[in-house]
A and B are shown apart, each in its own frame.
Chain A
Amino acid sequence: MSGLSADFEMSYLAGATVRARFERPSEGASVTVLFGPSGCGKTTILRCLAGLERPRTGFIRFSGETWFDASSGRFLPPQRRGIGFGFQDMALFWHLTVARNIGYGLRKLPIGARQRRVEELLDLLGLRGLQHRYPRELSGGEQQRVALARALARRPRLLLLDEPLSALDSETRQTLGRELRLLLKSLGIPCFLVTHDRFEAMSLGDHVLVMRHGSILQDGPIDEVFSRPVNAEVARTVGIESVLPAEVVDHRGGLLTLDVGNARLTAVAPTARPGIGSPVQVCIRGEDVTLHTGTPEGVSARNCLPGRVTSLLPNGPLTRVELDCGFRLIALVTPEAAVALNLHEGAPIHAQIKAAAVHVMVK
Chain B
Amino acid sequence: MDWTATWLTFRLACCTTMILLVIGLPLAYWLATTRFRARFVVEAAVSLPIVLPPTVVGFYILYATGPASPFGQVYERAIGGTFPFSFAGILLASVLFNLPFAVRPFASAFAAVDRRLLEASWCLGESRWMTFWRVVLPVAWPGVLTGLVLTFAHTVGEFGVVLMVGGNIPGVTRTLSIAIYDDVQAMNYAAAHFTSAVLLLFSFAVLCLTFALQRRILPL
Query: A-side interface residues toward B, CB under 8 Å?
Result: 50-52, 77-80, 83-85, 87, 89, 91-95, 104-105, 107, 136, 150-151, 153-154
Nearest-neighbor residue (CB-CB) of B117 within chain A? A91
The complex places the Cα of A52 from the Cα of B219 at a distance, in Å, of 28
Q: Are B116 and A79 in contact (CB under 8 A)?
A: no
Q: Are B122 and A105 in contact (CB under 8 A)?
A: no
Q: Are B138 and A85 in contact (CB under 8 A)?
A: no
**B145 on the A face (CB < 8 A):** no
Contact of B120 among A77, A80, A87, A154 (CB under 8 A): A87
Q: Are B116 and A89 in contact (CB under 8 A)?
A: yes
Q: Are B119 and A52 in contact (CB under 8 A)?
A: yes
Given A93-B117, A94-B219, A136-B219, A52 contacting B123 (CB threshold 8 A) = yes
Q: Are A52 and B122 in contact (CB under 8 A)?
A: yes
Nearest-neighbor residue (CB-CB) of A105 within chain B? B124
Residues of A contacting B130 with CB < 8 Å?
Answer: 107
Nearest 8 Cβ contacts at the A-B interface? A105-B124, A91-B116, A85-B123, A91-B120, A78-B122, A95-B138, A78-B123, A79-B125
Nearest-neighbor residue (CB-CB) of B139 within chain A? A95
Nearest-neighbor residue (CB-CB) of A91 within chain B? B116
Q: Are B119 and A87 in contact (CB under 8 A)?
A: yes
> Chain B nearest CB: distance from A194 CB in Å?
15
Q: Are A91 and B119 in contact (CB under 8 A)?
A: yes
Binary contact readout B163-188 vs A (1 if CB under 8 angstroms, 0 otherwise): 00000000000000000000000000
Q: How many A-B residue pairs have CB under 8 A?
A: 57
> Chain B nearest CB: distance from A82 CB in Å?
8
The complex places the Cα of A89 from the Cα of B134 at a distance, in Å, of 20
The complex places the Cα of A150 from the Cα of B219 at a distance, in Å, of 22
The complex places the Cα of A94 from the Cα of B135 at a distance, in Å, of 10
Residues of A contacting B122 with CB < 8 Å?
Answer: 51-52, 77-79
Residues of A contacting B127 with CB < 8 Å?
Answer: 79
Q: Are A93 and B135 in contact (CB under 8 A)?
A: yes
> Chain A nearest CB: distance from B141 CB in Å?
9
The complex places the Cα of A106 from the Cα of B81 at a distance, in Å, of 55
Q: Are A84 and B123 in contact (CB under 8 A)?
A: yes
The complex places the Cα of A102 from the Cα of B206 at a distance, in Å, of 38
**B126 on the A face (CB < 8 A):** yes
Residues of B contacting A150 with CB < 8 Å?
Answer: 120, 124
Q: Are B125 and A91 in contact (CB under 8 A)?
A: no
The complex places the Cα of A83 from the Cα of B120 at a distance, in Å, of 11
A sample of 20 more A-B contacts (CB under 8 A), given A50-B123, A80-B125, A94-B219, is A52-B122, A78-B119, A78-B122, A79-B127, A83-B123, A87-B120, A91-B119, A91-B120, A93-B121, A93-B135, A93-B139, A95-B138, A104-B121, A104-B124, A104-B134, A105-B124, A105-B126, A150-B120, A151-B124, A153-B124
From B117, B124, B139, name the one whose CB has the most chain A CB atoms within 10 angstroms: B124
Nearest-neighbor residue (CB-CB) of A82 within chain B? B125
Contact of B116 among A50, A87, A107 (CB under 8 A): A87
The complex places the Cα of A91 from the Cα of B135 at a distance, in Å, of 12
> Chain A nearest CB: distance from B24 CB in Å?
22
Nearest-neighbor residue (CB-CB) of B220 within chain A? A136
> Chain B nearest CB: distance from A68 CB in Å?
15
Residues of A contacting B126 with CB < 8 Å?
Answer: 79, 104-105, 107
* 18 CB-based A-B contacts, threshold 8 Å: A52-B119, A52-B122, A79-B122, A79-B123, A79-B126, A84-B123, A87-B119, A91-B119, A91-B120, A92-B120, A94-B219, A95-B135, A104-B121, A104-B134, A105-B124, A151-B123, A153-B124, A154-B124
Nearest-neighbor residue (CB-CB) of B121 within chain A? A104
Binary contact readout B42-64 vs A (1 if CB under 8 angstroms, 0 otherwise): 00000000000000000000000
Residues of B contacting A79 with CB < 8 Å?
Answer: 122-123, 125-127
The complex places the Cα of A159 from the Cα of B203 at a distance, in Å, of 53
The complex places the Cα of A92 from the Cα of B135 at a distance, in Å, of 11
Nearest-neighbor residue (CB-CB) of B131 within chain A? A79
Residues of A contacting B123 with CB < 8 Å?
Answer: 50, 52, 78-79, 83-85, 151
Nearest-neighbor residue (CB-CB) of B119 within chain A? A52
Residues of A contacting B139 with CB < 8 Å?
Answer: 93-95
Nearest-neighbor residue (CB-CB) of A77 within chain B? B122
Q: Are B120 and A85 in contact (CB under 8 A)?
A: yes
From B119, B122, B125, name the one whose CB has the most chain A CB atoms within 10 angstroms: B125
The complex places the Cα of A89 from the Cα of B127 at a distance, in Å, of 22
The complex places the Cα of A39 from the Cα of B51 at a distance, in Å, of 44
The complex places the Cα of A151 from the Cα of B123 at a distance, in Å, of 8
Residues of A contacting B135 with CB < 8 Å?
Answer: 93, 95
The complex places the Cα of A151 from the Cα of B125 at a distance, in Å, of 11
Binary contact readout B92-134 vs A (1 if CB under 8 angstroms, 0 otherwise): 0000000000000000000000101101111111110010001
Residues of B contacting A105 with CB < 8 Å?
Answer: 124-126
Residues of B contacting A91 with CB < 8 Å?
Answer: 114, 116-117, 119-120
